[in-house]
Structure 1
Amino acid sequence: MPSGKYYVSLLVETIIDELPKTGSNIGVDLGLTDFIVLSDGSKAANPKFLSKLQDKLAREQKTLARRREIANTEQRKLSDSKNYQKQKLKVAKVYERITNCRKDFLHKLSFNLIKNHDVIAIEDLNVKGMVKNRKLAKAISDSSWSTFTTMLAYKAEWYGKALIKIDRWYPSSKTCSGCGHLLIKDKLSLSVRSWTCPSCQQNNNRDINASINILNEGLKLASIKTVGAAGLA
Structure 2
Amino acid sequence: MLRGFKTEIYPTLEQADKINRTIGTCRFIYNLYLAKNKEQYEKDQTFITANDFSKLVNHEISVQEEYKWMKEVSSKAVKQAMVNGEKAFKKFFKGLAKYPCFKKKKDQDVKAYFPKNNKTDWTVERHRIKVPTLGWIRLKEKGYVPINAKVRSGTVSQKAGRYFVSVLIEIQGSYEQVELGDGIGIDVGVKDFVIASDGQVFGNINKTSAIKRTEKRLKRAQRALSRKYEQRKRGETSATYRGSNIHKGVLRVQTLQMRLATMRSAYRSYVVSMLVKTKPAFITLEKLNIKGMVRNRQIARAVSNQGFYDFKLKLLSACRKYGIEVREVDVFYPSSKMCSGCGHKKVKLSLSERTFTCENCGSSLDRDLNASLNLKQATEYTVLL
Contact kept, 8 Å, 2:195 with 2:369, in 1: the verdict is yes
Question: Is residue 310 of structure 2 the alignment partner of residue 147 of structure 1?
Answer: yes
Contact kept, 8 Å, 1:164 with 1:221, in 2: the verdict is no
- Tell me which moved more, 194-203 or 169-178: 194-203
Once the two structures are superposed, residues 123-181 of structure 1 have per-residue CA deviations (whole angstroms, 9 ceiling, x without a partner) of 11011221111110100011111110121122222321111011111111110101000
- Where 1:9 maps in the other structure, the secondary structure is strand
Unaligned runs of 5+ in 1: 226-233
Question: Is residue 360 of structure 2 the alignment partner of residue 199 of structure 1?
Answer: yes
Aligned to 1:85: 247
The normalised TM-score by structure 1 is: 0.86
Larger radius of gyration: 2
Question: Is residue 223 of structure 2 the alignment partner of residue 66 of structure 1?
Answer: no
Equivalent of residue 215 in structure 2, options 38, 54, 59: 54
Question: Is residue 323 of structure 2 the alignment partner of residue 166 of structure 1?
Answer: no
Larger RCO of the pair (alpha carbons < 8 Å, separation 6+): 1
Q: Percent identity?
A: 35
Q: Give distance in 1, aligned partners of 2:369 and 2:195.
A: 6
Q: Give distance in 1, aligned partners of 2:168 and 2:218.
A: 34
Equivalent of residue 341 in structure 2, options 169, 175, 178: 178
Equivalent of residue 269 in structure 2, options 80, 91, 107: 107
Equivalent of residue 170 in structure 2, options 10, 13, 20: 13
Q: Give distance in 1, aligned partners of 2:328 and 2:176.
A: 21
- Where 2:168 maps in the other structure, the secondary structure is coil
Q: What letter is aligned with 1:147?
A: D
- Tell me which moved more, 47-56 or 174-183: 47-56
Contact kept, 8 Å, 1:64 with 1:84, in 2: the verdict is yes
- Work out the number of aligned pairs and report it: 219
- Quick one: structure 1 residues 57 and 104, their matched pair in 2 at CA, closer, same or farther if it must change by over 3 Å? same
Q: Give distance in 2, aligned partners of 1:214 and 1:157.
A: 20
- Tell me which moved more, 39-48 or 63-72: 63-72
1:99 CA drift (Å): 0.9
Equivalent of residue 4 in structure 1, options 161, 171, 180: 161
1:6 CA drift (Å): 1.1
Q: Give distance in 2, aligned partners of 1:158 and 1:16.
A: 9
1:216 CA drift (Å): 0.5
The normalised TM-score by structure 2 is: 0.53
Unaligned runs of 5+ in 2: 1-157
Structure with more strand by fraction: 2
Contact kept, 8 Å, 2:356 with 2:370, in 1: the verdict is no
